[in-house]
């Protein structure tokens, strides 16, 4: 998202960000208008994800080179107005030449801009001849996310304006050695993309007030520290362990906005969409957390099972032969989560607890 000739121009990522968090979009809008400065977030997980994403993209490029495809490189590290125009010109020239693969293709119009990782030549008539192009994007996730689909759709729409024909399909390449792209039909997502595009257009005109609610995108967001500070300062209900978004919504409807307010709630009102039993559980959880916070020492309460058919009461009685297992997995493994360590606790003949680790240092193990 940036300001160009007094107009906000969007990137495909802005659409997926809008889907994830309206507050993030408002903060990015402030940066584009020059009233805020975007923070930089560091961390070992973020750094590892970035490095692995770049490695995956490079590996796929090398895979295409090994297959003998004619590849045009249109890379340009800058995304200012002049660089975008130059990048679009290079991309069009490569499309006119009919190269097999265009790497880091710049696509733009008056409202959107972006850089598609790969364009692949297909046998479909276009402005350039008896060929056209479709978008391919390497992604680390093994399950394609909604934000990825949205980004591919925007790239495809921008590509249509350049070549005069709408791409039929778009593709995602997941990690692995096969590099067989996952196929998606652009027409399947047209209506939803138009809805979101209209929504973000209205939002840019009148963003209104937003709040940094805790969402899954917070794990990767550059604004996390600022939003976390505000939520903590507000004693936000999201910090009640085990509470759901639906419960938070219902509590707000009756004027309960803070963890401390929930903890001090004597009676649970009758709420239509959630049971009083579940609300009582989160109220009790909030009370335990509030006591710990006020006393500055860990506080807990033991819960008795309802009867012998619930919870821990269903476990057999402990014996000296019990074994407790634990597994550790590598979530960055190329072919999905791989368990690399298991360990178990048992008791020796002398009654002492013994921990036995079992490592897997290779895929074969």
Nearest to 47 by CA among 330, 328, 332: 332
Q: Is 264 domain-assigned?
A: yes
Q: Is 289 domain-assigned?
A: yes
| Concatenated DSSP letters of 295-309 | HTS----PPPPSSTT
pLDDT at 24: 95
* DSSP 8-state assignment for residue 112: B
Question: Do 247 and 321 sit in the same domain of this protein?
Answer: no
pLDDT at 266: 87
Tell me which residue range forms the domain holding 246.
234-295
Q: Which of 186, 205, 224 is the last residue of a domain?
A: 205
Region 150-166 average pLDDT: 94
pLDDT at 136: 96
For residues 352 and 349, give the distance between their C-alpha atoms in angstroms, rounded to a whole number: 8
For residues 175 and 332, give the distance between their C-alpha atoms in angstroms, rounded to a whole number: 10
Nearest to 262 by CA among 246, 279, 274: 279
Question: Do 176 and 40 sit in the same domain of this protein?
Answer: yes
Question: Do 286 and 196 sit in the same domain of this protein?
Answer: no
Question: Do 273 and 333 sit in the same domain of this protein?
Answer: no
Per-residue pLDDT tens for 327-351?
Answer: 888 766 666 667 888 888 887 788 7
Rg of the chain over Cα atoms, rounded to whole angstroms, equals: 26
Task: Please give the tally of structural domains in the chain.
Answer: 3
CATH number, domain with residue 40: 3.90.320
Q: Is 227 domain-assigned?
A: no
pLDDT at 184: 96
Q: Is 28 domain-assigned?
A: yes
Region 25-32 average pLDDT: 94
pLDDT at 363: 73
Helix (H, G, I), strand (E, B) or coil at 163: helix
Question: Do 55 and 164 sit in the same domain of this protein?
Answer: yes
With a cut of 90, say whether residue 126 has pLDDT above it: yes
pTM (predicted TM-score): 0.81
Q: Is 191 domain-assigned?
A: yes
Per-residue pLDDT tens for 293-325?
Answer: 999 999 988 877 667 777 777 888 888 777 777
> Which of the residue ranges 177-191, 271-285, 327-341 would you say has the lowest mean pLDDT?
327-341
């Amino acid at each position: 998202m940036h300001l160009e000739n007094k107009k906000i121009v969007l990137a495909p990522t802005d659409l997926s960000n809008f889907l994830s968090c309206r507050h993030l979009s408002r903060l990015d809008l402030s940066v584009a208008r020059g009233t805020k400065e975007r923070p930089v977030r560091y961390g070992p997980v973020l750094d590892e994800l970035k490095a692995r994403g770049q490695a995956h993209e490079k590996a796929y490029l090398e895979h295409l080179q090994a297959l003998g495809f004619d590849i045009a490189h249109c890379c340009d590290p800058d995304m200012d107005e002049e660089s975008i125009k130059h990048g679009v010109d290079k991309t069009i020239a490569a499309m006119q030449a009919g190269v097999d693969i265009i790497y880091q293709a710049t696509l733009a119009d008056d409202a959107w801009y972006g850089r598609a990782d790969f364009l692949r030549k297909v046998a479909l008539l276009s402005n350039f001849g008896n060929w056209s192009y479709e978008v391919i994007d390497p992604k680390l996730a093994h399950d394609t996310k909604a934000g990825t689909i949205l980004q591919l759709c925007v790239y495809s729409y921008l590509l249509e304006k350049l070549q005069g024909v709408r791409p039929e399909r778009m593709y995602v390449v997941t990690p692995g050695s096969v590099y067989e792209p996952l196929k998606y039909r652009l027409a399947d997502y047209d209506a939803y993309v138009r809805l979101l595009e209209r929504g973000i257009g209205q939002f840019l005109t009148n963003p209104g007030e937003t709040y940094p609610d805790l969402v899954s995108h917070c794990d990767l967001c550059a604004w996390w520290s600022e939003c976390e500070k505000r939520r903590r300062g507000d004693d936000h209900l999201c910090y009640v362990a085990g509470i759901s978004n639906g419960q938070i919504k219902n509590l707000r409807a009756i004027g309960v906005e803070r963890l401390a307010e929930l903890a001090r709630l004597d009676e649970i009102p009758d709420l239509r969409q959630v049971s009083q039993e579940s609300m009582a559980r989160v109220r009790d959880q909030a009370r335990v957390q509030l006591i710990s916070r006020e006393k500055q020492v860990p506080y807990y309460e033991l819960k008795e099972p309802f009867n012998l058919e619930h919870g821990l009461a269903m476990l057999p009685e402990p014996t000296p032969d019990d074994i407790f297992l634990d597994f550790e997995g590598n979530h960055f493994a190329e072919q999905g989560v791989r368990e690399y360590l298991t360990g178990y606790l048992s008791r020796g003949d002398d009654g002492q607890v013994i921990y036995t680790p079992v490592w897997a240092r290779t895929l074969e193990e």
